[in-house]
Structure 1
Amino acid sequence: MNTNLKIAVEASLKAGEVIMQVYDTAFNVELKDDKSPLTEADKKANDIINSFLVPTEIPIISEENKQTDYSIRKDWETCWVVDPVDGTKEFIKRNGEFTVNIALVTNGKPILGVIYVPAVKTLYYADVEKQEGFKVDLNDHNTSIDYIIENAEVLQPKDSNSNPVQVVGSRSHMSQETLDFVETLKGKGKDVEIVSKGSSLKFCLVAEGNADVYPRFAPTMEWDTAAGQAICNAVGIDVISKETNSTLLYNKENLLNPFFLVTL
């Protein structure tokens, strides 16, 4: 396993352990300036992840770090992109659908990605250059890299001609753009089934063959998507910006993503 990927995996597991310690308590919820929720789990997980990544001497973009000005970031060839707890709202609801996201980006493109689901101890990881993506179910947050490598299963997306087409979306409040996308598929003679998950697990649904396409026509930040994009890219699935009609890029001046489409 690539050294940086190993570091990211270890960081995600340790972060997952502390997240679940908070999850099992009566935690407090704060509101950040943008009105998004913040818990003790976000802060503790971020500190742990930083303790693993800072020694690599690769700069870090994390939702919970103070953001570096673009005048400096623009000269970064490689950087980490991190969300210590993706799906804080899911964490607060205690529905288990929250993740730890860690990606390594080079020249704007994710090259390594880790998504850890601490509530169920499921780990996804990928090396884009090797075109390898894996999933492994763990018994413990303190699992060795050797066990992970030995027990990981290769991610296998669905055949692109499947019918019905499984579309990742919200069952209760899809945007008009997503509804239009579904109608377009139906207009091509496809039956459509909506599948739903919280956080970056939406990318994992497509990468592991439990969905065909993920249209995201609502705001996301780079740390929401970088790890998921790495995992998808590693198994031949592209993440296309609706703004440029090409691959979604990272370490942009504006860390807010355009709308995008995850598809074979």
Structure 2
Amino acid sequence: MEQCTQAHWQQWLPQVCQIALQTGRGISQMYRANQAQRFVDVEQKKDGTPVTEADHYADALIYTSLQAMTPDIPLVTEESVAKFAFAERQHWSTYWLVDPLDGTKEFIEGTGEFSVNIALIHNHRPVLGVVFGPEVNHLYYAVQGGAAFKVAVDVQSLDVERLDMSQLMSQAQPIQTARLQPDEMANVAISRRHGGRTQSFMAALGEHQTVKMGSALKSCLVAEGAAHVYPRFGPTSLWDTAASQVIVEVAGGAVLNAAGHPLEYVQTPTLLNPFFLVVCQCDYPWPPIPEVM
């Protein structure tokens, strides 16, 4: 696409939010049916990670919807990345980057802490981000150069296809990170499953409280001021972080690698992230990110 400006991002944002809501409603219906049956049909991908019918449903719906909206912009999702060789992807300057169901393990285990993540990448930088948690009823969104917002949405009680998005988005509240003072106890967002590196980071941080959450919703906790930091010292892919990174950055925080630089979205064969911190502010003496062993 020759032109991709902030005006385009703002123009596309309501429709991207609606796509996330539509997808989230379908995922939520499957989730609740699975919980009622106490059974989830799970497959294993080649990398050993789980995938469900809900992953495939969400992938197909988002892929079709975004391609219809912006047919000239390529799209990478977690489930479709194998369709595009690195030799093709490396030349993309603008593309959609999507995790249709972030937190498949949370979906399977019944915590409800999963999300739909949709981001637009432009010149190696995430510029539009939408994160929707259909079971926590929260929609987060932002574009670079604008503001970050959160709105409560119960998709099970709404006709999403006919929803007046301008009316819904007028009800959204702006969010911003909460600065951490030197004598203040830090709130740390963490997964229910975390290892020794995260434990060591929290010990180095000093007195703290933890907030347990799944998926990209942890980063959104930092963006809205409910947590100060989210350390991630395990494997993630670019689609796990892109959408929430926009929201965090616009809200006043950052997503930093070990060198203290924001995560970049350069096409690589693996599309893997380094270890990173999601922080409420850069001018705080955060403990260092451990090296990858």
Query: Quick one: distance in 2 between partners of 1:207 and 1:102?
Result: 16
Cα shift at 1:175: 2.3
Identity of aligned residues (%): 41
Cα shift at 1:248: 0.3
**Match of residue 177 from structure 2:** 157
Cα shift at 1:252: 2.7
SS of residue in 1 equivalent to 2:132:
strand
Which runs of 5 or more residues in structure 1 are unaligned?
A: none
The aligned amino acid for 1:149 is: M
Q: Say yes or no: does 1:42 pair with 2:52.
A: no
Q: Say yes or no: does 1:29 pair with 2:50.
A: no
Q: Say yes or no: does 1:105 pair with 2:121.
A: yes
Q: How does 1:52-63 map to 2 (within 5 A)?
A: 52-55=65-68, 56=70, 57-63=72-78
Q: How does 1:109-148 map to 2 (within 5 A)?
A: 109-130=125-146, 132-140=147-155, 141=158, 142=160, 143-148=163-168
Cα shift at 1:184: 2.2
Taking structure 2 as the reference length, the TM-score comes to: 0.83
**What's the RMSD between the two structures over aligned residues?**
1.6
Cα shift at 1:148: 2.0
Which runs of 5 or more residues in structure 2 are unaligned?
A: 1-8, 35-39, 282-293
Query: Quick one: distance in 1 between partners of 2:44 and 2:194?
Result: 25
The aligned amino acid for 2:49 is: S
Query: Quick one: distance in 2 between partners of 1:24 and 1:170?
Result: 22
The aligned amino acid for 2:242 is: A
Cα shift at 1:146: 1.5
Cα shift at 1:39: 1.0
Query: Quick one: distance in 2 between partners of 1:245 and 1:157?
Result: 18
In 1, are the aligned partners of 2:76 and 2:97 still within 8 Å (CA)?
yes
Q: Deviations over 1:162-187 (max 9, x none)?
A: 7111112246x53222222222222x
Cα shift at 1:218: 0.8
- Of 5, 11, 19, the residue aligned with 2:13 is 5
Q: Deviations over 1:228-262 (max 9, x none)?
A: 111101112111112x4311011431301100011
Q: Say yes or no: does 1:229 pair with 2:268.
A: no
Query: Quick one: distance in 2 between partners of 1:219 and 1:236?
Result: 25
- Of 17, 20, 26, the residue aligned with 2:25 is 17
Query: Quick one: distance in 2 between partners of 1:198 and 1:17?
Result: 18
In 2, are the aligned partners of 1:7 and 1:52 still within 8 Å (CA)?
no
Taking structure 1 as the reference length, the TM-score comes to: 0.92
**Aligned residue-pair number:** 257
Structure 1 runs of 4+ off > 6 angstroms? none
